[in-house]
């Protein structure tokens, strides 16, 4: 059975006239009649009753007409989806993210979803080290993580370069200050830190900031994720150094203060495999450049 035969049958079934159907199909009537007869022979079913005066559908023909429409619709849909996947306009995109989305990244995600509504975007909260493993196993297309990244297999593009702030419990003696805080004033305070094994670059940067201020932080507790860290700060467990992006996620009981005399910045980086060249990733990168050229 050929797709052409289905189209021919549908036209005859809707016109109930071989001559008119042939004219609409832009073919002569004899080849059309032969194709319909061949279709009935292959199926072993009479689909049309023919006389010199009229053509009508048999009961089997009526049923087959509905299915033929459905088959062609499914085929058109499959072809259209394949074309969109080929052009990077449909499919599934998996993104790993360490930390939290900035407002700029959230705007980009909304922009991308509006531009490509048929792409299913899956976002997984993953540490930098988890993302590197996921890249090796080809489980994610893109990662948003904190350098340094020890990998020759990835492309890297800096999204943000942000300063560090102190997160203090609202009950802390320095919480009422409006001026930037000298970090050495917190050398006796317990610190809440993200574990080094999930983000060595982030951890080492914070340790370096503290040492430049003349002390090594007394780590009272390690916690994964900005929300957990800020919750512990709000509970008075300790203080923490967080990136400027944390200011976009205010939490009751936490006060953010700038650091005096420290210009250390943390980079947030977009990463993707060098051997990744699928249409969907190419479209994502093109949209990323469009958005972040104007951010």
Start and end residues for every CATH 1.10.10.10 domain found in the chain: 3-86
Give pTM, 2 decimals: 0.67
Given a contact cutoff of 8 angstroms between Cβ atoms, the answer to whether 149 and 132 are in contact is yes
Start and end residues for every CATH 3.40.190.10 domain found in the chain: 92-153+274-292, 159-267
Given a contact cutoff of 8 angstroms between Cβ atoms, the answer to whether 141 and 194 are in contact is no
CATH class of the region 3-86: mainly alpha
Q: Could you list the pLDDT tens digit for every one of the 295 residues in the chain?
A: 788 888 988 898 888 888 888 898 899 988 888 988 998 898 898 989 887 778 888 888 889 889 888 988 888 888 877 787 776 767 889 999 887 677 788 888 889 988 889 888 999 988 888 999 999 999 999 999 888 787 889 999 988 888 999 999 999 999 988 899 999 999 999 999 999 988 888 899 999 999 999 999 999 999 988 889 999 999 999 999 998 888 988 889 999 999 998 888 888 889 999 998 888 888 899 888 887 764 4
44 closest CA partner among 57, 60, 56, 66: 60
What burial letters (b/e) apply to 49-88, b meaning 16+ CB within 10 Å?
eeeeeebebeeebeebbeebeeeeeeeeeeeeeeebbeeb
Q: Show the tokens assigned to 14.
A: 């809707």
CATH superfamily of this structure's domain 159-267: Periplasmic binding protein-like II (3.40.190.10)
Q: Show the tokens assigned to 274.
A: 């060098």
Q: How many CB atoms neighbour CB 126 within 10 A?
A: 21
Q: Does domain 92-153+274-292 have CATH number 2.60.40.1180?
A: no
């Amino acid at each position: 059975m050929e797709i052409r035969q289905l189209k021919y049958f549908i036209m005859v079934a809707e016109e109930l006239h071989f001559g008119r159907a042939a004219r609409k199909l832009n073919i002569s009537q004899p080849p059309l009649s032969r194709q319909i007869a061949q279709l009935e022979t292959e199926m072993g079913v009479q689909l049309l009753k023919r006389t010199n005066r009229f053509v009508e559908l048999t009961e089997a023909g009526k049923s087959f007409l509905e299915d033929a429409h459905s088959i062609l619709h499914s085929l058109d849909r499959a072809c259209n989806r394949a074309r969109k996947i080929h052009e990077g306009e449909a499919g599934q995109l998996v993104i790993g993210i360490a930390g939290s989305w900035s407002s700029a990244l959230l705007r980009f995600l909304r922009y991308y979803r509006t531009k490509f509504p048929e792409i299913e975007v899956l976002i997984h909260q993953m540490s930098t080290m988890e993302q590197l493993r996921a890249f090796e196993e080809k489980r994610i297309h893109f990662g948003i993580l904190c350098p340094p990244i020890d990998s020759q297999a990835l492309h890297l593009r800096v999204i943000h370069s942000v300063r560090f702030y102190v997160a203090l419990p609202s009950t802390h003696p320095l919480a009422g200050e409006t001026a930037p805080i000298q970090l050495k004033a917190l050398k006796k305070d317990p610190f809440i830190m993200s574990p080094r094994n999930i983000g060595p670059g982030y951890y080492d940067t914070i340790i370096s900031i503290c040492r430049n201020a003349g002390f090594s932080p007394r780590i009272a507790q390690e916690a994964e994720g900005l929300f957990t860290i800020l919750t512990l700060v709000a509970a008075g467990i300790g203080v923490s150094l967080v990136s400027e992006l944390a200011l976009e996620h205010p939490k009751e009981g936490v006060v953010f203060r700038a650091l005096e005399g420290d210009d250390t910045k943390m980079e947030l980086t977009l990463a993707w495999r060098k051997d990744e060249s699928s249409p969907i990733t190419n479209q994502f990168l093109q949209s990323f450049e469009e958005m972040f050229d104007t951010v």
